[in-house]
Amino acid sequence: MKPRSKRILRLLLFALAGALAGYAYYFFFGCTRGCAITGSPWRSMLYMAVLGLFIAFASEKEGDSQCNT
């Protein structure tokens, strides 16, 4: 598998995991009205998917660069 394909697959998996976590959070802890994020399963899933993408980007390796210190 090409490195670019692996990167895209990794990002999609993190986003999917975040969306599933968002739905689980809505299901177990969400409220029915007055909540900006957890009031709707779609908003909760979108918010957590974006957080999953942030985590995926933050935990990426920087290629073959080595520290010279």
pLDDT tens digits for range 32-62: 777 888 888 899 999 999 999 999 999 887 7
Residue 6 lies in a domain: no
DSSP summary character for residue 41: H
The letter for the amino acid at 65 is S
As for how many domains the chain has, the answer is: 1
DSSP summary character for residue 39: T
Residue 67 lies in a domain: no
Percent of the chain with pLDDT over 70: 88
Smallest Cα–Cα separation from 38: which of 21, 53, 52, 25? 25
Residue 22 is part of which domain span? 17-55
3-state secondary structure of 36: coil
What is the reported pTM?
A: 0.79
Residue 8 lies in a domain: no
Residue 26 lies in a domain: yes
Residue 24, CA distances (Å) to 4, 27, 36, 65 in order: 30, 5, 16, 38
Residue 4 lies in a domain: no
Residue 64 lies in a domain: no
